[in-house]
Structures are given as structure tokens and as C-alpha cells.
Amino acid sequence: MTVSSASRPREETSVHTRILKCALEIDDTRAYWAHGARAERDRTPKTAFDEAWFGSRSMKRVEVLITNFRARFDAFPPSLPVLSAWKDMEPKTRGIVCHWHMQLSDPLYRRFTGEYLVERRDQTDTVTRDAVLKWVSSEGAERWTMPTRIQFASKLLSVAYAAGLVGGNRDPRPLVYPRVEDDALTYLMYLLRSVAFEGTLANNPYLASVGLDAGFATDRLRGLSALSYRRQTDLVEVDWAFDTLETWAAGTVHQERANVGSYL
């Protein structure tokens, strides 16, 4: 099945400040996913607050969380129902999936993790807040005050730390790569198949941010069972074993979990 680029959701391209109010929030994200099978009209801030989806969070905080999670997940269907049904996702995979969706919904974070940190690794194995502040200031941020730029630098680093891309929260901070399981990588590939984004399936900021540049990505993609990936110079061919992200999930991760449960 081929989806026209005009009908696909598109990665966010307008820089915004949402990250200043809402970081990766992995635990709260998991709580949001738990209600992902419900219709959007049943996933309002009031419902989330009344039913205590996020524990004792204030109504104001719940509104911030719902707004951001909608931008990260609802904007890229059918990710939310798939994630809702993926009950026993590994914690590290959860962090990587949250990271990729943050990249999709935030172009500054996407450039930071998919370009700047990648280039930084070619020069050194650490990063500092001052270096990130300098980068933020170079990213057309002159319209922001210095305190706001400092906030951006701190938030970008804290989110990268939560995603497993930075190995500490004190300078100098080690640059590391998270382990990416096959299920997580397959999820990303099927998701990107349905999204309009800059780059190719084997060369993009999403893969680069977790250490899978064009060469490493090719090796990993060839090992996935849910797709057949072939590359010769600049020619790439992909055969998909499933039509959509939903059918892949129904036929693999969801079905495997159901089968495991039937033997317990």
C-alpha cells in the first residue's frame, strides 16, 4: 500500500517553545498511552484530571501534558492505538519511542539530537551546557532572551539524558547511544513510512540520533524480519511484510504478547 505524501502527517517544521514546559515525561507518556484506544473526545484534560491519569497533577499541569502528548502522538496516526496495545514494551524502548516522537514534533530537538550531537561525537565524547547554549544561540534564536536560551539548553540536555543519548546530568556530560531493539527499530520504520519527513528511510535524524547512520542503519535494517531492505549505492528498495504500522503491530508485538499470556 502506498500513501501519497499529500495525505501523510508531516514532521513539525515550525520552531516552538513547548519543550520548556514539557520534557520527555516518560512515565506520564505511558499513562497517556494507556488511554490511547479511547476516542479523542474522551481524552480531554478534564477527563484525565477527573480520572487521575497522571496521579495528583494539577489541572493546569494536566492541560500542558495533554496538549504536548497530542502533538507528539495523536498528530502521527496510527501510533497512539499501537502504543496503547503494546503493554509490555521494554522501558528502554519506551524512552527511545518517546524520543523519536519528540523529534517528530519538535524541529529544534530534532536538529539538536539528529545533527548537533551527531557532529559533536565526531569531535569529542562529551558535551556541556555552555556548548549547547552556544548552539542554541546560533540556531536563529536571537529573538529569545538569554534566560530563555539558557532554559532551552538545559531542557534539550535533560530530554537527551532521559532518552539515553547523554550519560549524565553534570558537565562534561558523556555522549552515549541507547540500545535499539529490533521491535523499536521496526516501529520507527513503519511509522516513518507513513510520515512526510526530510531524509530517507536509511538516512535521517531519527536513526542518526541513536547511532544508526547510513552505514550502520543498512546493516540493522537488513536484519529486520518485518521488511526486506536492499541498497546498492544510492538505489534503495524496501519490501514491507505488512501494509501498515497497525497490521505489523497486530501481527507481531501485540500477537506475541497475547500468545505469551495464553501460556501463563
Mean pLDDT of 182-208: 95
Residue 104 within a domain: no
Residue 203 · residue 114 · CB < 8 Å: no
User: Grid coordinates standing for 166?
Assistant: 547523554
Q: Does residue 158 have a pLDDT over 60?
A: yes
Q: What is the pLDDT of residues 51-71, one digit of tens each?
A: 999 999 999 999 999 999 999
Q: What's the pLDDT score for residue 262? A: 30
Rounded CA gap, 261 and 239, in Å? 31
Share of the chain above pLDDT 70, in %: 92
Q: What is the per-residue pLDDT for 259?
A: 43
d(CA 129, CA 135): 10
Least confident of 65-69, 125-129, 227-231: 227-231
Considering the domain boundaries, does residue 114 fall inside one?
Answer: no
Whole-angstrom distance, CA of residue 263 vs CA of residue 212: 36
Structural contact between residues 85 and 252, judged by C-beta atoms closer than 8 angstroms: no
- The grid cell for 138 is 546560533
Q: Cα 55 from chain centroid?
A: 24
- With CA atoms as reference, report the closest residue to 110 among 172, 159, 167, 176: 159
CB 152 within 8 A of CB 138: no
Q: What is the pLDDT of residue 21?
A: 97
Query: How far apart are alpha carbons 131 and 184 in whole angstroms?
Result: 30
Q: Is residue 3's pLDDT more than 80? A: no
- Written as nine digits, the cell of 156 is 534539550
Q: Is the pLDDT of residue 1 over 90?
A: no
Residue type, 227: L
Domain of residue 41 covers 10-88
Residue range 179-196: mean pLDDT, rounded? 96
Q: Which of 152-161, 189-198, 217-226 has the lowest mean pLDDT?
A: 217-226
Q: What is the CA radius of gyration of the chain?
A: 19
User: For residues 80 and 96, what is the distance between their CA atoms, to the nearest angstrom?
Assistant: 15
Residue of 206 and 259 predicted with greater confidence = 206
Does residue 76 sit within a domain? yes
- Cα separation, 259 vs 238, whole angstroms: 29
What confidence score (pLDDT) does residue 19 get? Answer: 97
Residue 141 has what pLDDT? 61
3-state secondary structure of 175: strand
Domain for residue 59, yes or no? yes
Distance CA 202, CA 105 (A): 20
In a domain, 134, yes or no: no
**pLDDT greater than 50 at residue 261:** no
Count CB neighbours of 132 within 10 A: 26
Residue 248 has pLDDT above 90, yes or no: yes
Q: Is the pTM of this model over 0.85?
A: yes
Indicate the DSSP class of residue 180. -
Q: What is the mean pLDDT of residues 135-142?
A: 83
In the block, cell 505524501 appears at 5
In the predicted model, is pLDDT for residue 173 greater than 50?
A: yes
Question: Is 75 a member of any domain?
Answer: yes
Under 8 Å CB-to-CB from 137, ≥6 apart: which residues? 149
Residue 12 has a CB neighbour count (10 Å cut-off) of 20
Q: 255 pLDDT band (50/70/90 cuts)?
A: low
Whether 200 is covered by a domain: the verdict is: no
pLDDT digits (tens, 9 = 90+) for 105-119: 999 999 999 999 999
Q: Counting beta carbons within 10 angstroms of the beta carbon of residue 178, is it exposed (0 to 12), middle (13 to 18) or buried (19 or more)?
A: middle
How many domains are contained in the chain? 1
Domain-embedded: residue 60: yes
Q: How confident is the prediction for the chain on average, in pLDDT?
A: 91
Which pLDDT band holds residue 246 (cuts at 50, 70, 90)? very high
Q: For residue 129, give the 3-state DSSP assignment.
A: helix
